[in-house]
A and B are shown apart, each in its own frame.
Chain A
Amino acid sequence: MRRNQVAVVGAAETTELGVVPNASQLQLHADAALNAIADAGLKLSDIDGFATAVETPQQVCHYLGIKPTWVDGTSVGGCSFMLHVRHAAAAIEAGLCKTVLITHAESGKSMIGKAPRSIPADSLQGQFEAPFGVYGPPSMFPIPVLRFMKTYGITHEQLAAVAVVQREWAAKNPRAMMKDPITVADVLNSRMIAYPFRLLQCCLVTDGGGALILTSADRARDFPRKPVYIMGTGESVETPMVSQMETFNSSRAFKTAGPLAFKEAGIAHKDVDHLMIYDAFAHLPLFGLGDLGFMPHEETGKFIADGNTRPGGKLPLNTNGGGLSYMHSGMYGMYALQESVRQMRGIAPAQVPNAKISVCHGVGGMFAASGTIVFTNER
């Protein structure tokens, strides 16, 4: 795909984030969509392309009153929205539609109008993982961690530092769920969830949503907000079974999606001013820094523990506070994209001064899928 041909011209989260007991999941989709449409200065009837995950496009389109000529229901977990951005950019370039709305919402905490996740007993996961006691992401996502630590000499303290640093960023974000400072000792003394991970190394469970509006870069100049261009994109999937990953020393999906996006954008790692790496659990930023090629995996733990990703550090990472401290409704990718767009617009609460290139990297399932978007505010 050619770089900078498509731009984000509308972006918004739901009016409320966190615990939202007064809205169903479907209404949260609509709330985010209406906020993004207002942000872009558009009318509902201007939307001719639509993408969402978990909920079907027909469900959300009908509720909102949208009549699309292009839809994408790609649903590969929390990074689905990165894939939607990639697919929407291709569709706009191909002339299939002009103005795409992407929505995410999840009543992850209040569970209003949200179908519970279940594993069919005759699926491969139901036969070869569920009988051994996996029960939700905390029991599955950290399974590779001990191998990763042993291979690369990563310490428990370094993995605790991920949560500490992200709490520093969260403290600068009024909408972050958790803002009180924490120490490495606090993390290592918090309640055990699934060894080696403790409560503060696991993501929040909240309600909320977000929406993006994309159009061609040529049209983007006429919108009220500063356009944020899609510079590069990548995607891949590996396996829905964490036990069947090629290796626990890296993520094949990360190693495919990330470099694709960098290559398409034509950038080097030193060009990256701002970075989001989907952090459902504390090991993900380490996998991401290594698999995206920022540094050898061995150095990732020390890099974060030494403060390089904290406010004022040389590689600002997860500047909203991340899934660990900002919010995590279950599929966090949309919130990472929202923060990248805010940073590129120059309006983030914890704004990185003069940031021109933002890389936003997502995961779906337990390393099952990945999507990477490179944004820029310069065409």
Chain B
Amino acid sequence: MAEPQRARPKPTPETQHFWDGTKAGELRLQRCDACAHVYFPPRPFCPSCASRKVSIFKASGKGFLYSYVINHRPAAPGFTPPYAIAVVELAEGPRMMSNIIDCPQTPEALELDMKLEVAFQALDDKITLPVFRPAKG
């Protein structure tokens, strides 16, 4: 029997650019051309002012650890507990859920507000997930 698989995102027309970005090693966000609001998750209009004039741009990939849990049970398919489920606040403002790599999954190592930088984890030849690791330097 095959190992249970990690939940795999299925892009939609509105989110395809994001997943194309992670595959290319870029974290892509959107900015409103009318009011400059930066937002996530992707959509082809501004959730702040409703303008349809929005642009996709490459984010810095910098952020900090906003909050997290360390999940022990039940574990999601494809995960070995304990593992942290984190929410990262990006330098550009939006927050996103992710995982923290290259770091012990412990309360001692996972300090709130610690600086993080994006990394990319290929699930398969189509989908690459954005994850974060402690920022160097």
**Are the C-beta atoms of A143 and B67 separated by less than 8 Å?**
yes
Sampled A-B contacts (11; CB under 8 Å): A127-B9, A130-B76, A132-B97, A133-B78, A133-B83, A133-B85, A134-B85, A147-B66, A191-B73, A192-B82, A195-B107
Interface residues of B in 1-50 (CB under 8 A from A): 6-12, 15, 19, 40-41
**Are the C-beta atoms of B99 and A133 separated by less than 8 Å?**
yes
Q: Hey, which bits of chain A sit against chain B, CB under 8 A?
A: 119-122, 124, 126-136, 138-140, 142-147, 150, 191-197, 241-244, 248
**Are the C-beta atoms of A131 and B7 separated by less than 8 Å?**
yes
CB distance from A252 to the nearest CB of B (A): 14
| B72: chain A residues within 8 A (beta carbon) | 191-195
CB distance from B29 to the nearest CB of A (A): 13
**Are the C-beta atoms of B9 and A130 separated by less than 8 Å?**
yes
Alpha-carbon gap, A199 to B31, bound state (A)? 42
Instruction: Pick the contact of A142: B6, B69, B74, B123 (CB < 8 A).
Output: B69
B95-107: CB near A (< 8 Å → 1, else 0) gives: 1111100000001
Given contacts A128-B96, A131-B129, A133-B79, contact A194 B70 (CB under 8 A): yes
B interface SS class: loop
Considering residues A127, A136, A242, A248, which has the most beta carbons from chain B within 10 angstroms of its beta carbon? A127
Answer whether residue B75 sits at the interface, using C-beta atoms and an 8 A cutoff. Answer: yes
Alpha-carbon gap, A195 to B15, bound state (A)? 31
B75-91: CB near A (< 8 Å → 1, else 0) gives: 11111001101110000
Alpha-carbon gap, A136 to B71, bound state (A)? 11
Instruction: Pick the contact of A130: B7, B19, B66 (CB < 8 A).
Output: B7
Answer whether residue B112 sits at the interface, using C-beta atoms and an 8 A cutoff. Answer: yes
- Given contacts A134-B97, A244-B41, list 4 more A-B pairs with CB under 8 A: A127-B11, A132-B129, A143-B69, A191-B73
Residue in chain A with minimal CB distance to B9: A127
A interface SS class: mixed
Answer whether residue B68 sits at the interface, using C-beta atoms and an 8 A cutoff. Answer: yes
**Are the C-beta atoms of B11 and A132 separated by less than 8 Å?**
no
Instruction: Pick the contact of A139: B6, B69, B78, B96 (CB < 8 A).
Output: B69
Given contacts A130-B9, A143-B85, A143-B87, contact A135 B74 (CB under 8 A): yes
**Are the C-beta atoms of B6 and A131 separated by less than 8 Å?**
yes
Alpha-carbon gap, A126 to B19, bound state (A)? 13
Alpha-carbon gap, A136 to B72, bound state (A)? 12
| A242: chain B residues within 8 A (beta carbon) | 87
Number of interface residues of B (CB under 8 A): 39
CB distance from A147 to the nearest CB of B (A): 4
**Are the C-beta atoms of A143 and B68 separated by less than 8 Å?**
yes
| B82: chain A residues within 8 A (beta carbon) | 192, 195
CB distance from A118 to the nearest CB of B (A): 10
**Are the C-beta atoms of B73 and A193 separated by less than 8 Å?**
yes
Residue in chain A with minimal CB distance to B66: A147
| B96: chain A residues within 8 A (beta carbon) | 128, 243
Alpha-carbon gap, A144 to B95, bound state (A)? 12
| B10: chain A residues within 8 A (beta carbon) | 120-122, 126-127
| A131: chain B residues within 8 A (beta carbon) | 6-9, 123, 129
Given contacts A126-B10, A195-B69, contact A146 B112 (CB under 8 A): yes
**Are the C-beta atoms of A135 and B9 separated by less than 8 Å?**
no
Alpha-carbon gap, A38 to B85, bound state (A)? 48
Alpha-carbon gap, A135 to B99, bound state (A)? 14
Instruction: Pick the contact of A121: B7, B66, B95 (CB < 8 A).
Output: B7
**Are the C-beta atoms of A196 and B71 separated by less than 8 Å?**
no
CB distance from B17 to the nearest CB of A (A): 12
Alpha-carbon gap, A243 to B86, bound state (A)? 9
Alpha-carbon gap, A195 to B112, bound state (A)? 14
Alpha-carbon gap, A194 to B69, bound state (A)? 6
**Are the C-beta atoms of B71 and A135 separated by less than 8 Å?**
yes
Instruction: Pick the contact of B99: A132, A191, A193 (CB < 8 A).
Output: A132
Alpha-carbon gap, A143 to B34, bound state (A)? 33
| B86: chain A residues within 8 A (beta carbon) | 132
